Amino acid sequence: MKRIFVSLFLLSSLLLAQRTPLEAADYAKVTSHAELSGFINAIADTSKLIKSEVFARSVDGKELYAVYFSKGEFGKDKSKIKVLIFCQQHGNEQSGKEGALLLTRELLKPENAYLFDKIDFALVPQMNPDGSEKNSRRNGNSMDLNRNHLIITEPETIGLHDLFDKYLFEVTMDVHEYYPYGETWKNFGYRSNNDIEAGVTTNCNISKKIRALSKKEYLPFLKKYLNEGGISYCEYSPGGPPEKDYIRHSTFDINDGRQSLGVQNTFSFIQEGMNGKDILIDNIEHRTKGQMLGMRALLEYTYANKDKIKNLVAGERKKLITGKVSRKVAIQMDHFPDGSKLQLPLLSYYSNKDTIIAVNNYRPVVKPLVEVDRPAGYLIPKNLTELVTWADRHKLQYHDYRNSDGSVFEQYMIAGIDSMDFEGDITVNPYVQVKKFKKELPGGPYIFIPVKQLKGTLIITALEPKSELGLVTYKKYEHLLKKGELFPVIRVIK
């Protein structure tokens, strides 16, 4: 017993001595990529509970690290639940990275080891090292990584999805910062002043049961956990200012980190810490603590509700794989009111005090505008190499198509091309006419992508020409829409 006590004492002393780079700089300088690498490599040597891996490299060749916490071989114990948290997709949002490094050290303290009786945890402290070094939102290709999860053209997002596909994490969180100091809100006289804001999945194709558990149980738990730690909280509520624009609870687009994993029926969240006025070091100690506590809260809730979450996610994913899901898939959606008012906590620029504003134009509900019937799958002409490459990057299941008797096909004629408003942006909105036939497929050869797979809803959302979240809304694929011509992707009805 004495020997065990001495070992624990030595480990605690070693961890306390292993300050994060931010702490070592007395909070005067954010952590560089070289310092992050050094810290991860050093702290990984302090415990058998942790190991690190370079799972991808950035555009400029910098390492992207995954830090694994597990009592045993990661992902092998099927009784455990797998959690993934990834930070700093936007290079000018520094506190998520700093909070992740602080969390790494905290989790290695002996008193926190109980978490890994039930959890295998993977932490990605920094998704965008190139942007971080320049304190710039975008990566080395000037791409916003958090708008790259559907088209996955960047090495950083490709690497993240490869990591997810390898382990199929049941719980995920994407950690960001929000900037409340813009002129529009300043002219309104108020701004957000919450240390942490968090959002659930909102795309209405995602399991209702998962969305309900996220909203009704996890968010109240998070608020209580943060408040007890001295951190203020509000549900993520972009839009506004009130009465000049509506307030909603984030996007339903599946091209961001939270929704792209959520649409695979994952218990998935976004966490937004409040940025500093100068973005870098303003209030960085408090910002780092808030982000760390928010990440820790997700682990604590998952630990306490492991079986509930794991069984729910397994059941809802099985429905995607077997096709026992809703026949209808929403491809155009919008935000709607439900008759309630949002009590929005804000800071007054006039009094410099926190206050509450009642928001009348509050739209918390996402409903479908246009739906399609779920097909058996899609035929992609092999000569459309950009689509075949896209399918490969997503690791979609597909095979060469061989025509069979009894198959029924639908192909869209693009009768016209208009536009529509999507959360304040303008996106393409074609008019389509459906042509149904049984034999004599035009063109070919084809690959067949079935929708009875985990990414089935993602496939439908991506390949429907009228989808406001689809591939044709991106420049790389806009050539697929041609007025007066057939859309080259064919729906297989049976």
Burial class (CB in 10 A: 0-12, 13-18, 19+), 367: exposed
- Residue-wise pLDDT for 129-139, tens only, equals 999 999 999 99
Supply the angle between the helices 284-304 and 306-322 in degrees, to the nearest 10: 80
Q: In what side-by-side order are the strands of the sheet with 233-235?
A: 50-57, 63-69, 119-124, 81-87, 171-178, 267-274, 196-200, 233-235
Which helix (DSSP H) or strand (DSSP E) does residue 44 occupy? none
Reply yes or no on whether the pLDDT at 2 is more than 60: no
Topology annotation, domain 14-322 = Aminopeptidase (3.40.630)
Instruction: Quote the percentage of the chain above a pLDDT of 90.
Output: 91
**Which pLDDT band, with edges at 50, 70 and 90, does 15 fall under?**
low
pLDDT, average across residues 30-37: 98
Report residue 394: phi and psi, to 5°: -85, 0
The pLDDT assigned to 17 comes to: 54
Reply yes or no on whether the pLDDT at 407 is more than 90: no
d(Cα 301, Cα 288) in Å, to the nearest integer? 20
Place of tokens 């993934």: 84
Burial class (CB in 10 A: 0-12, 13-18, 19+), 168: middle
User: Which of the residue ranges 61-65, 67-71, 274-278 would you say has the lowest mean pLDDT?
Assistant: 274-278
The pLDDT assigned to 12 comes to: 47
The pLDDT assigned to 4 comes to: 42
Supply the angle between the helices 95-107 and 284-304 in degrees, to the nearest 10: 50
Average pLDDT, the chain: 94
Domain range summary for the chain, segments of one domain joined by +:
14-322, 375-492
436 vs 418: which has the higher pLDDT: 418
d(Cα 106, Cα 156) in Å, to the nearest integer? 26
pLDDT, average across residues 135-161: 97
The pLDDT assigned to 456 comes to: 98
The pLDDT assigned to 8 comes to: 44
- Residue-wise pLDDT for 314-354, tens only, equals 999 999 999 999 999 999 999 999 999 999 999 999 999 99
The pLDDT assigned to 160 comes to: 98
Within 13 A of 69's CA, how many CA atoms are on the CB side?
Answer: 28
8 Å CB contact between 193 and 345:
yes
For residue 98, the Cα-to-chain-centroid distance in whole angstroms is 19
pLDDT, average across residues 137-164: 98
pLDDT, average across residues 435-447: 84
d(Cα 292, Cα 295) in Å, to the nearest integer? 5
Reply yes or no on whether the pLDDT at 9 is more than 60: no
pLDDT, average across residues 284-313: 98
d(Cα 58, Cα 189) in Å, to the nearest integer? 40
What six digits make up the tokens of 289? Answer: 């603590």
b/e map of 239-276 (b: 16 or more CB within 10 Å)? bbbbeeebbbbbbbbbbbbbbbbbbbbbbbbbbbbbbb
304 vs 14: which has the higher pLDDT: 304
- pTM assigned to the model: 0.95
**Which pLDDT band, with edges at 50, 70 and 90, does 405 fall under?**
low
Reply yes or no on whether the pLDDT at 5 is more than 90: no
Nearest to 481 by CA among 460, 467, 494: 467
8 Å CB contact between 154 and 209:
no
